[in-house]
Every structure is written in structure tokens, then in C-alpha cells.
Structure 1
């Protein structure tokens, strides 16, 4: 999955330019209701950082000064053709990442909410089902064996691997809520007999 499939296009983003003063930036933030917006250059193509509303109040200089005086997160960027995997290590506590194309031009933003939505899809949180977490010590050929066992009893809604420690890896998979209890019991039995350690189970319920 690439970033280009999930970001908000530039035409929908409430950005300001380097020509704004700190006072103008504050007014823009208050009017739009955002706590942070991107700053672009005069041509509206280059990303120069973010401005946070709180910083417009903390600034000790003149409010007539350039907004660039309080520009933050200048390196908080990701490229639209990059793998989504890298985003999880970059966005952290940021409200969004600026998205650039191959010409280093600003094309939009990838919001924290969009990243969380992708994570929810990976864990099948938005779907009803039964989630099972197993711990494995020897990862070689594990996925092939695991999917073969699960497929005997049910379809697989989602599957994700997690590094829980240096020597142990966890695999979380979800099967549909329609799986019968007998099939679920047989699945547990087959997993145990194949030396898979079940460490956690969850019944996933949607909020809809």
C-alpha cells in the first residue's frame, strides 16, 4: 500500500504561505478551527513547515513578524509513492505529514486519522469477527503453516505480524464472526497441536 492512496489532496487543505505574518496565521487558525496548518512558499508548491496556534501565542516578538519565525516540523514529510509502512515510524504524535511528489512539490497531507484508519483496517477493527493472537519462536514457514490450518476451518479477514520481543513474534489474525463455535474449537485444537501458542483472543464488535 502506498501513501498516494490515502492522503488529502492539496485542494482540500487549509494552508497558509510564507507571506503571512504571525498575526495573520493566528487569525487563519482561529477562523478555520485547526490547531495546525502547513506553510507553503509564495508559489504554493514548496512545503516550509507547520504553524501551531499555540506557538502564535507563545511567540515573544512582534505579531507582525513572518510566520516562518515559528515554523515547526520542517522535516515532517513523506513522498506519495512511498510505502505506507514508513509512515508509522514518522507520524508519531504529529497531526499530519506533508506529502510531496518526486519534484519535491507539496501535493497534500496525510492525517493522523487516516493512518489510524489504515491500522484499524489491518487489524479488522471495523469488522465484526474473532481475533486470535499467537506467539511463535521459529518464524520460518510459520505463515504458510498457519494459513493452511486456519483455512481448513474459516476464511481469514486479516493477518498482521508484530515483534513482541527479540526472540518471540506475535501473529494476530481475524476470522469472521459467522464461524461456528465447533469450528473455532477445532481451530484452537489444530493450532495447539501444531505448536502454536495462543496468547490472546478477542471478540471484535463494530460501533455501527
Structure 2
């Protein structure tokens, strides 16, 4: 999964440029309704940082000063071709990341909400079915054994691992809602018989 499949294209982004004053940036933010927008250079190709509406009010200098005086998050960038998992190490509390192409040119933004949508898909939040959480100490061997066993009974709809820095890890997998109760019971018994620890089980609806 790559960034290029999930970001908002530049043509849809309400950015400002470096020749904006702080007053103009404030008016732009108020007009568009965003609390933060990217700042691009005069050629509208290079990302120079973000401007937050609240900073236009906190600024103690002249509102005629350049918007770059209050630019923030200059390093809040990610490459179009980078794998999506890198986003989770970068975006954190930011509203979005600037997406750059191979020439370091600004081509759009990856929003925090888009990242959450992908995370929800990974957890199958909006998908009906059954979710099992397995606790394990021996992650490498467990994952192979687990997927082999589950696949004997039903397709695996999604799978994600949690607590990767801890000694005890958790593997969450979901199976389709079309799986009948008898098959679910057989799967549950097979997991227990094969010494898998079922930490949590839930029917998703």
C-alpha cells in the first residue's frame, strides 16, 4: 500500500504562497474554514511549511509581515512512493502531511482523516464478521501457524499485529460474516487445541 493511492491532489488543496502576508493568510483560512493550510513558494511547487489560523492571532508583530514568519511543520513531508506504514511514524498530531514527488515538488496532502480511514480498513471496523485476538510470545512462528490453521476453516478478511515493542504481542484477525456459527465453533476449538491463547473474541455488526 502506497501513499499515492490516498492523498488529496494539489488542485484540491487550498494552500497559500510565501508572498502572502499574515493578514492575507488569516483571511484565507477564515474563508476556507481550515485551521491549517500548506505554504508553497512563489512557483507553487515547493513546500515551505504550514500556517495555522491560531498563529495568525498569536503573532505579536505586524499583520503585514510575511506568512513565513509563522510557518510551522516544515519537515511534515512524505514521498509519494513511500509505503503507507511510514505515515504512522510521521503524522501523529499533525492535521496532514505534504506529499512530494521524486523531484521534491508538492503534489498534495495526506490528511489525518485519510490515515484513520486506512487504519479502520485494516481493523475491518466497518466490516461485519468475527474478530479474534490472539496473544503470543513467539510471534514469528505463531503467525505462520495461525494463518495456516484459520485458512483451513475460512478466509482471513484482515489481519494486524499490535504491541510490537512488547514481549507479549497480539494478532487480531477477522473472518467474513458469511462464516456460519458451526464453522466459528470449529475454528475456536481448533485454535484452543493448537495452544493459541484467545484473548478476545467479538462478533462485528
Q: Same fold (TM over 0.5)?
A: yes
Pair 1:63-2:69 in alignment: no
For the residues of structure 2 that align with 1:22 and 1:111, how far apart are their CA atoms?
A: 24
Pair 1:31-2:31 in alignment: yes
Query: What is the SS of the residue equivalent to 1:119?
Result: helix
**TM-score in terms of structure 2 length:** 0.97
For the residues of structure 2 that align with 1:80 and 1:55, how far apart are their CA atoms?
A: 29
Corresponding residue for 1:133? 133
Listed as ranges, the gaps of 5+ residues in structure 1 are: none
Aligned length in residues: 205
Q: How does 1:1-208 map to 2 (within 5 A)?
A: 1-163=1-163, 166-205=166-205
For the residues of structure 1 that align with 2:204 and 2:88, how far apart are their CA atoms?
A: 23
Listed as ranges, the gaps of 5+ residues in structure 2 are: none
**TM-score in terms of structure 1 length:** 0.95
Query: What is the SS of the residue equivalent to 2:97?
Result: strand
For the residues of structure 1 that align with 2:180 and 2:201, how far apart are their CA atoms?
A: 15
For the residues of structure 1 that align with 2:73 and 2:188, how far apart are their CA atoms?
A: 47
Q: Which whole-Å deviations, capped at 9, do the CAs of 1:62-111 have from their partners, x for residues lacking one?
A: 10000001101110000001010110110001110000111111010000
Closer, same or farther: CA 55–121 of 1 in aligned 2, 3 Å: same
Between stretches 120-129 and 62-71, larger displacement belongs to 120-129
Between stretches 119-128 and 37-46, larger displacement belongs to 119-128
